[in-house]
Amino acid sequence: MTADDTHRVLHHACRRAGLDPARAELIRRAENSVYRLPGAVIARVGRSGQTAAAGKEVRVARWLERSGLAAVRALPDVEQPVDVEGVPVTFWRALPPHQEAAERQLAGVLRRLHELDPPGEFALPELAPFVRIRDRIEAAPTTSAADRAWLLGYLTELEARHAELPVGRTAGVVHGDAWAGNVVADDDGTVWLLDLERFSVGPPEWDLVSTAVRLTSFGTLDTAGYGEFCAAYGYDVIGWAGYETLRDIRELRACSYMLQHAGRSGAAQAEAARRVACLRGRSGDRPWRWRRIV
């Protein structure tokens, strides 16, 4: 959707929810478009066709609140999500001032999350590690035909490897996208879970790999920081026999995300091309120090 389309959807949803969109301020436009509304309310405009997923996110938020785990709070007394021509809009309480969680804080909240029993009032889906990767590769606006064919072949290889993962830790509730930007800490030290749309049941290693690849693949975390993470969680996923497979899937996910946004700017296109080159073995050994552009 264009920015104008998103703004129109937001106005329709706000009117139906009894909220004032007149002073809506765009905060971020990526997978979702996020707006700040008066009264410390945050609105998220999702992707077309994702109403069911948005509804799950609201249910997960309310379940986490009942479970005593800090997470984004869905606005009460509003029936959510609001569907506008197939586009879901959800409304949330704004968080207090915050920053990305430290490694020990991230590990601590993941340990608590992984110890929770799955909700009894609704069913979480099974973890889907490959969701949207194929669509992103096929629709990538700046990718050459040769690179596209290679990426799709690599995806098929990873799907086969994933089906043969060795036994790991007991499956349970996982965040599904537990990178540092999706877990924040406020000034009082409370750690908050954000972006709940990938919540599912799966191997806890999937969440842990999101931090491990910052050390082994992307070079954005040093050995001391990773050591703090492992000490706080009580486990080092890098030593697990299935680590390389989940690492490779995480890398391809991160690459496909940048491919999706490569048409936005020259910097995004260059970063997308660099990520493909890394996966294809054209940019040396890991860590590759990928840049966060979008």
Q: What residue ranges do the domains of the chain occupy?
A: 3-94, 103-279
* Contact of 208 with 222, CB cutoff 8 Å: no
Structure-block tokens of residue 15: 């009117």
What is the model's pLDDT at position 122? 94
Report the DSSP beta bridge partners of residue 200. 174
* Contact of 85 with 5, CB cutoff 8 Å: no
Structure-block tokens of residue 212: 């491990």
How is the chain split among helix, strand and coil, in percent rounded to 5? 45, 15, 40
CATH of region 3-94? 3.30.200.20
What is the model's pLDDT at position 271? 96
Burial (Cβ within 10 Å: 0-12, 13-18, ≥19) of residue 198:
buried
What is the model's pLDDT at position 152? 98
What is the model's pLDDT at position 229? 98
What is the model's pLDDT at position 180? 81
What is the model's pLDDT at position 36? 95
State pTM to two decimals.
Answer: 0.92
Domain 103-279 is in which class? alpha beta
**CA neighbor of 118 nearest in space, from 202, 54, 204, 201:** 201
Rounded Cα–Cα distance for residues 151 and 144 (Å): 11
What is the model's pLDDT at position 181? 86
What is the model's pLDDT at position 233? 98
Which residue type occupies 99?
Q
Structure-block tokens of residue 1: 């959707």
Query: What CA dihedral angle connects 142, 146, 151 and 156, to 10 degrees?
Result: 140
Q: What is the DSSP string of 147-176?
A: HHHHHHHHHHHHHHHHHTPPP-SPPEEE-S
What is the model's pLDDT at position 221? 96
pLDDT, block means (10 residues), the chain with 294 residues: 86 93 89 92 93 94 95 93 95 95 96 96 96 96 97 98 97 94 94 95 98 96 98 98 98 96 94 97 95 81
Report the DSSP beta bridge partners of residue 140. none
